[in-house]
């Protein structure tokens, strides 16, 4: 459980870093879809 959560955190952090370095519309769209799926 903790390992999975840490992996998710790393993936989220990597996405944020990539987004900050070079924001991609595709990444933003994926995030919006993910937020909708979670909600």
Two tokens, residue 21 = 């370095």
What φ, ψ does residue 28 adopt, rounded to 5°? -60, -45
**Per-residue pLDDT, 2:** 61
Domain that holds residue 6: 2-38
Q: How many domains does the chain have?
A: 1
pLDDT mean over 1-22:
65
Task: Tell whether the model's pLDDT for residue 39 goes beyond 70.
Answer: no
**Per-residue pLDDT, 37:** 76
**Per-residue pLDDT, 28:** 75
């Amino acid at each position: 459980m903790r390992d999975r959560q840490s992996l998710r955190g790393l993936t989220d952090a990597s996405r944020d870093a990539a987004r900050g370095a070079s924001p991609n519309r595709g990444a933003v769209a994926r995030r919006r879809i993910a937020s909708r799926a979670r909600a």
